[in-house]
Amino acid sequence: MARVDLDGRAIAPMTICMIGAGGFIGSHLCEKLMAETPHKVLALDVYNDKIRHLLEPESLPWAGRIQFHRINIKHDSRLEGLIKMADLTINLAAICTPADYNTRPLDTIYSNFIDALPVVKYCSENNKRLIHFSTCEVYGKTIGSFLPKDSPLRQDPAYFVLKEDASPCIFGPIEKQRWSYACAKQLIERLIYAEGAENALEFTIVRPFNWIGPRMDFIPGIDGPSEGVPRVLACFSNALLRREQLKLVDGGQSQRTFIYIKDAIEAVLLMIENPERANGHIFNVGNPNNEVTVRQLAEMMTQIYSKVSGEAALDVPTVDVSSKEFYGEGYDDSDKRIPDMTIINRQLGWDPKTSLWDLLEATLTYQHKTYAEAIKKAMSRPVAS
Ligand code: NAD
Ligand code: UDP
């Protein structure tokens, strides 16, 4: 049966130039596009480990519909040609791990703003549609975080729910280099919006709110640098796998809403296949029902990991660390992130489905299966003296 869009029209097969296709989100998006659609993907990245299962062997049912191009978009003249070959460009490429924002602020700003500029320019000049990945971090801190601790207004959603078309973007001082990422993402959003307004660029901007699931980041010392600091899911998974305490930065009081990657990818597919409903919009993509403090997340992950691994949890599973100790000078944090879902719900009829418990259970089952043996081996190796 022909696949139809939300307005009942047949969806024509398209070619998608996906930049950053080898990352966490890209790998899930490629998987979905190969398994459920007839679209072709030109997959650009410097790595392809996370999509190798889609590229090999040649006998895969989608062989010929996905093509990997090992390209660093910072300096590769093939970029414009590939964008021209496609109907749609999706840009996922970025440095997007908080440990880098204050320690590698220049790389962070270049990656999230300067390197994204030619992509926007080539799309605009060649009349190609662009879906650009920004971040929920462009909202920065909530208005409520500036109220006195005991103010009853802190309970009022008007002071914390984040709305695409109404909320301000509130960053800390320049010396708090944490905000280098959010600021670069905000400026590229403004540039894309201006290209839409002045040059009729067809664009959609996605603001992911803590998408998590299998293949996110890396486990230090196993498939990433042993000194590397990934995002919280991988940090906590690593500690659980090694039977170490989970580190709570500044008491783990910050709040986040986590969404299962598979729910979020459904939203992206709707954007891809419903351009008339998605163009010109900025979309929050998150799960407002899955809010926890980082401390609660640690407790939940400890409980679930014990269930899926069959290993008893440590007596004291968490330890407090200061942000200066953990991330170094210049770290700062978003206090609370609840996405308003009105716009995506109205335009695309999309809602997230998976509860935090279920998504952590699926993800930690994957982490255990994928890494437990490798960690045991690595830990039993004698340390070089
Ligand atoms: P990721 O790090 O797994 O993926 C990014 C990919 O881009 C990597 O594979 C990397 O190799 C590639 N890349 C970076 N620079 C490149 C370059 N110069 N040339 C070619 N490839 C390059 O991260 P992700 O979680 O998949 O995030 C994708 C996008 O979504 C990013 O723009 C990020 O800022 C945004 N985002 C993600 C989340 C989330 O919850 N995962 C939250 C907010 C924003
Ligand atoms: N965090 C933590 N321990 C860790 C890693 C992260 O307490 O081992 C905290 C971090 O300070 C932040 C939250 O967890 O408050 C989420 O961090 P993440 O790196 O996933 O990215 P963010 O949501 O801040 O973009």
Mean pLDDT of 207-230: 97
User: Residue 212 forms beta bridges with which residues?
Assistant: 260
User: How far away, in angstroms, is 257 Cα from ligand 2 center?
Assistant: 12
CB contact burial 152-186 (16+ within 10 A = b; e otherwise):
eebeeeebbbbebeebebbbbeeebbbbbbbbbbb
Query: Which residue's alpha carbon is at the smallest distance from atom 10 of ligand 2?
Result: 249
User: How far away, in angstroms, is 248 Cα from ligand 2 center?
Assistant: 8
Question: How many other CB atoms are found less than 10 A from the CB of residue 322?
Answer: 11
pLDDT at 2: 81
Q: Distance (Å, rounded) from C-alpha 114 to C-alpha 246?
A: 35
Q: Please pick, among 101, 122, 139, 181, the residue that the annotation labels catalytic.
A: 181
Report all structural domains of the chain as residue ranges with CATH numbers, in order of start: 94-372 (3.40.50.720)
Q: What percent of the chain has pLDDT over 70?
A: 99
Atom of ligand 2 nearest to the CA of 235: 8
139 tagged catalytic: no
Is the CB–ligand 1 distance for residue 70 below 6 Å?
Answer: no
Structure tokens at 240: 């659980």
Q: Which ligand is nearest to the CA of 45?
A: 1
Mean pLDDT of 158-168: 98
Q: Which ligand is nearest to the CA of 214?
A: 1
Q: Which ligand is nearest to the CA of 286?
A: 1
- At position 381, the amino acid (one-letter code) is R
User: Is the distance from CB of 133 to CB of 25 less than 8 angstroms?
Assistant: yes
Q: Distance (Å, rounded) from C-alpha 214 to C-alpha 117?
A: 30
C-alpha distances (whole Å) from 186 to each of 166, 169, 207 are: 15, 8, 11
Is the CB–ligand 2 distance for residue 294 below 6 Å?
Answer: yes
Which residue among 44, 70, 133 is best mutated to probe the pocket of ligand 1, counting the most ligand atoms within 8 A of its Cβ? 133
DSSP run (H or E) holding 3: none
DSSP run (H or E) holding 326: helix 323-327
Is the CB–ligand 2 distance for residue 234 below 6 Å?
Answer: no
Is the CB–ligand 2 distance for residue 210 below 6 Å?
Answer: yes
DSSP run (H or E) holding 241: helix 232-242
Is the CB–ligand 2 distance for residue 230 below 6 Å?
Answer: no
User: Is the distance from CB of 301 to CB of 247 less than 8 angstroms?
Assistant: no
Which pLDDT tens digit goes with each residue over 63-87? 999 999 999 999 999 999 999 999 9
pLDDT at 385: 52
Structure tokens at 140: 């920065």
201 DSSP assignment: -
Q: Distance (Å, rounded) from C-alpha 167 to C-alpha 159?
A: 9
Which pLDDT tens digit goes with each residue over 171-210? 999 999 999 999 999 999 999 999 999 999 999 999 999 9
pLDDT at 384: 59
User: How far away, in angstroms, is 23 Cα from ligand 1 center?
Assistant: 6
Mean pLDDT of 89-113: 98
Atom of ligand 2 nearest to the CA of 136: 25
User: How far away, in angstroms, is 92 Cα from ligand 1 center?
Assistant: 5
Which pLDDT tens digit goes with each residue over 269-322? 999 999 999 999 999 999 999 999 999 999 999 999 999 999 999 999 999 999
Atom of ligand 1 nearest to the CA of 185: 34
At residue 358 the predicted structure's pLDDT band, cuts being 50, 70 and 90, is very high
pLDDT at 381: 81
Q: Distance (Å, rounded) from C-alpha 221 to C-alpha 301?
A: 21
User: Angle at CA 264, nearest 5°, toward 50 and 27?
Assistant: 10
Indicate if the pLDDT at residue 383 is higher than 70: no
Q: Distance (Å, rounded) from C-alpha 124 to C-alpha 280?
A: 13
Mean pLDDT of 209-234: 97
User: How far away, in angstroms, is 179 Cα from ligand 2 center?
Assistant: 14
- Say whether the ipTM exceeds 0.95: yes
What mean pLDDT value characterizes the chain?
97
User: Is the distance from CB of 290 to CB of 257 less than 8 angstroms?
Assistant: yes
Mean pLDDT of 252-277: 98
